Amino acid sequence: MPLGTPPRSHHASAIVLSQVSSSSSVSSVANEASVPIEVLSAAWRMISRFGLQGMTIRQPRDSWESLTRGSLASKVRMVAESSDTLQARPGQAPAISDVDLAELSKLDTEEVFCAHMTRHLQAFCSDGYVVINSERLAWTTGWKPDFFIAHKKCYDAHKPPKGARLGRNAADKFGVPYRGLLDSLRVCEAKLDMKPSDLAELWQYLNSLPDGESRGMLFDKRSFILLTAAGKCQQKFPTRLLEGEWRTEGSFDAVRAFLAVQSHSERSLHAALQHASVQLLGFLGSGSFGRVFHVYNETRGSCAMKLVNDEKLARAEVASLQQAVQQGCPVAQPISELEAVALGNRHCFYYLSTPVGQKLSQTDAATRLEDVLDCLHDLHKSGIAHGDARLPNLIVNADSELLWIDCLHTGLATCVTVQSDIETLVRSLGASAQLLAQINADSLSNQTFREALQRDLHAWTY
């Protein structure tokens, strides 16, 4: 039965792939559920390979055509059709030369293999991107992928772990990704000799990354697998799989092209950097609806770039900050209007602000508690509510003054919004539930409350 032909009946509401105990029982299960055998066969092959038995293909209520457009079955069929083996392209460079492969073949531990592979992986990277070793540094639900690839300014660098092999390249980098940028990296997992079950490990890494497309590479001393997954976090499905050998002619370009594909977030960032004529210095953090980067150019100097997708919220935030600046409130100052950047048939938006400042830790905030509370109280006395008065939205400038960033509330402050601000700040400071229950809109004017909060945080800190 061709894909797209209505099934004989719609009585079965779902196919549970765990019913299929082997490839020989695919036919009977497909028959019973009135689903094309080629669809279920493709599903069984791919599900088995990724170790995902027990997943369900649900038939829609409306039509078989919608199943072929968007369901798990159609996605499985698509990946089955797009799974391929890399074909040689005579005259083009292999990913790794025979001389280097001979050297790799002599290695007998995975850690040594990773050390030797770092320079090869780096050669595949686009300009500005680096290979970071994370084999001893857990960062995704307790797992430790051997490597990830990210922008050289956008990862949390660590010193080489204790006991890391001597003789690693002095330029080798160790670290973990920033949580706010997990959708902008590629995961690489090394094995001395790949086994079929190893692909499931790479799959688990990709499946735990944020919504959208994720890319990863599994490799050993002879070959590699390039895997693309798409969908929601923990509900992804493989959409492309390419297997190849390092010595195959043309494999260098194939791997490099695979790793060069950028996420929407990466494309937005690079487009905004180019539009603003600034260079990227680092990642500052992610807010309620955007990400903030440290940027620089000779005209503006050092400033923060906030990159967002929601134009309405961004315009409201810029307006709120500008209003607060005009009233002399302690906030970061926008130094540009909200700018729109075309990105295909979509747009991203950004604005620049100054100063960049430094984040305030909970410990430092407890030490400067009066200053922290006064900083929020000054906003409220000017009739402005913040809307997201968490500690991460408070920075320290070069003169040790506290400033708010990411103002979300528009319009005049009310008792409700003021109390919400205070609760948000006190909660982010680490106060107890008992103290949180005492908060009202006048708490910042109440010295008794301030002293109680100081005692509460002192008990938590010490």
Q: Residues at the annotated binding site?
A: 306
Task: Please check whether residue 77 is in contact with residue 39, taking contact to mean a CB–CB distance below 8 angstroms.
Answer: yes
As a whole number of angstroms, the distance between CA 359 and CA 365 comes to: 10
Cis peptide before 355 (omega within 30 of 0): yes
- H helix or E strand, kind and range, residue 373: helix 369-381
Task: Please check whether residue 367 is in contact with residue 440, taking contact to mean a CB–CB distance below 8 angstroms.
Answer: no
- H helix or E strand, kind and range, residue 318: helix 311-326
Q: How many C-beta atoms lie closer than 10 Å to residue 164's C-beta?
A: 16
Task: Please check whether residue 147 is in contact with residue 188, taking contact to mean a CB–CB distance below 8 angstroms.
Answer: yes
User: DSSP 3-state assignment of 450?
Assistant: helix
Residue type, 69: R
Nearest to 149 by CA among 100, 220, 93, 205: 205
User: DSSP 3-state assignment of 435?
Assistant: helix
As a whole number of angstroms, the distance between CA 169 and CA 153 comes to: 20
As a whole number of angstroms, the distance between CA 17 and CA 30 comes to: 10
Task: Please check whether residue 362 is in contact with residue 400, taking contact to mean a CB–CB distance below 8 angstroms.
Answer: no
Torsional sign, CA 351, 272, 291, 403: negative
Given the DSSP bridges, would you call strands 237-245 and 83-85 parallel, antiparallel or unpaired?
parallel
Residue 236 falls in which region: left (phi positive, over 0), alpha (psi -120 to 50) or beta? beta
Tokens, residue 352: 């620049």
Q: How many C-beta atoms lie closer than 10 Å to residue 8's C-beta?
A: 10
Helix locations, 169-309, DSSP H: 198-207, 251-260, 264-276
Residues tagged in the binding site annotation for ATP: 306
Tokens, residue 448: 């008794």
Q: What is the DSSP letter of 130?
A: E
